């Protein structure tokens, strides 16, 4: 290397050092909140503040490197940060309840501070009022899963479906004073059994009617596999959860609240912990749900 080369290298090193010093100081000031004014330096950033700071930061500088730097300097833990940035949401849904397992399901959810959505039926349900009320009062959402859950009846015509739905709605209303707008079709919106009773486009017709009357139906995009036959083992159910939730946002996880499904209750703590570790926060399905077209099949 000649003299000129050496001088060039020295200049380059000097530039890097000077730039690094300026950038580092600015970053230190920024991380303390002096420049942005967003962070009060007497406090550690909470979720909202961190989100705001990061939002500003990315707006000005962009890119993965700065995200990483902001992450490091703001002291935000990476898995928490990932969840925050991607805003990953999982909706736990229980169909066909209430059942003898409902009180214990509610206990597990309470222990973990998680709210869920229960798509309930009315036919042959003892203590239904008490059970609906218990679900509702613990802060969960009640959805309508029709009164009878009988495919031959509800899918024979739009009128029959609506009558069965409204019967269920009345029962929930009696118990809680609310009329759920959220619905889940027995078998899902793309079930093929309905064709046998109401023709090829019965689901489309019912879906149109529901929309017209202001109802929102919700399918699922993940499952614990607890309705499969023969019944899967707990390990297989865990595999289903891992496999069907992978890479999805939001996750709408189908489970069943039925007397015979003890395993679902038994692996519920694992399901919650697994999804939390994957960076998901838990939400309930209500009128404000977004991206439902991503989930629904019809
Ligand atoms: Zn069902």
Whether 73 and 55 share a structural domain: yes
Ligand 1 centroid distance, CA of 288 (Å): 23
* Residue 53: HSE in the Cβ half-sphere, 13 Å Cα cutoff: 32
Domain C-terminal end among 16, 49, 81: 81
Ligand 1 centroid distance, CA of 282 (Å): 22
Ligand 1 centroid distance, CA of 107 (Å): 22
**pLDDT at position 293:** 80
Ligand 1 centroid distance, CA of 267 (Å): 20
**pLDDT at position 198:** 97
Whether 210 and 115 share a structural domain: yes
Domain C-terminal end among 81, 115, 133: 81
Q: Which domain holds residue 184?
A: 89-295
Whether 16 and 77 share a structural domain: yes
Whether 77 and 94 share a structural domain: no
* Residue 184: HSE in the Cβ half-sphere, 13 Å Cα cutoff: 29
Ligand 1 centroid distance, CA of 89 (Å): 23
CATH code for position 191: 3.20.20.370
Whether 42 and 119 share a structural domain: no
Whether 247 and 102 share a structural domain: yes
Q: Contact, 38 vs 49, CB < 8 A?
A: yes
Ligand 1 centroid distance, CA of 273 (Å): 25
Ligand 1 centroid distance, CA of 254 (Å): 10
Whether 41 and 164 share a structural domain: no
Q: Per-residue pLDDT tens, the chain, 298 aa: give them.
A: 555 667 777 777 777 666 766 665 555 545 444 444 343 333 333 444 444 444 444 433 344 444 445 445 554 444 444 445 579 999 999 999 999 999 999 999 999 999 999 999 999 998 999 999 999 999 999 999 999 999 999 999 999 999 999 999 999 999 999 999 999 999 999 999 999 999 999 999 999 999 999 999 999 999 999 999 999 999 999 999 999 999 999 999 999 999 999 999 999 999 999 999 999 999 999 888 877 788 898 8
Whether 127 and 219 share a structural domain: yes
Whether 247 and 121 share a structural domain: yes
Domain C-terminal end among 81, 104, 130: 81
Whether 246 and 114 share a structural domain: yes
Q: How many domains does the chain have?
A: 2
Whether 75 and 198 share a structural domain: no
Ligand 1 centroid distance, CA of 96 (Å): 5
């Amino acid at each position: 290397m000649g003299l000129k080369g050496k001088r060039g290298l020295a200049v380059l090193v000097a530039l890097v050092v000077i730039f690094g010093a300026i950038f580092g100081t600015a970053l230190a000031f920024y991380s303390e909140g002096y420049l942005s004014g967003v962070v009060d330096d007497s406090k550690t950033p909470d979720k909202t503040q961190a989100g705001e700071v990061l939002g500003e930061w990315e707006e000005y500088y962009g890119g993965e490197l700065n995200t990483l730097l902001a992450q490091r300097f703001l002291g935000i833990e990476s898995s928490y940060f990932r969840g925050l940035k991607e805003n990953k949401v999982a909706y736990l849904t229980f169909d066909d309840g209430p059942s003898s397992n409902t009180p214990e399901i509610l206990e597990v959810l309470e222990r973990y501070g998680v709210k869920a959505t229960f798509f309930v039926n009315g036919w042959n349900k003892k203590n239904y009022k008490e059970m609906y009320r218990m679900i509702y009062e613990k802060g969960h959402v009640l959805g309508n899963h029709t009164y009878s859950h009988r495919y031959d009846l509800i899918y024979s015509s739009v009128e029959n479906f609506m009558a069965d739905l409204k019967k269920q709605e009345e029962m929930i209303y009696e118990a809680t004073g609310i009329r759920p707008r959220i619905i889940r079709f027995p078998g899902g919106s793309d079930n093929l059994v309905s064709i046998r009773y109401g023709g090829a486009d019965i689901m489309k017709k019912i879906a149109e009617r529901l929309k017209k009357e202001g109802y929102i139906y919700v399918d699922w995009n993940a499952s614990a596999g607890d309705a499969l036959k023969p019944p899967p083992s707990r390990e297989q159910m865990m595999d289903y959860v891992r496999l069907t939730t992978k890479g999805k946002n939001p996750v709408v996880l189908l489970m069943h609240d039925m007397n015979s499904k003890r395993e679902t209750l038994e692996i519920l703590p694992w399901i919650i912990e697994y999804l939390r570790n994957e960076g998901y926060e838990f939400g309930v399905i209500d009128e404000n749900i977004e991206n439902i077209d991503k989930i629904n099949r019809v």
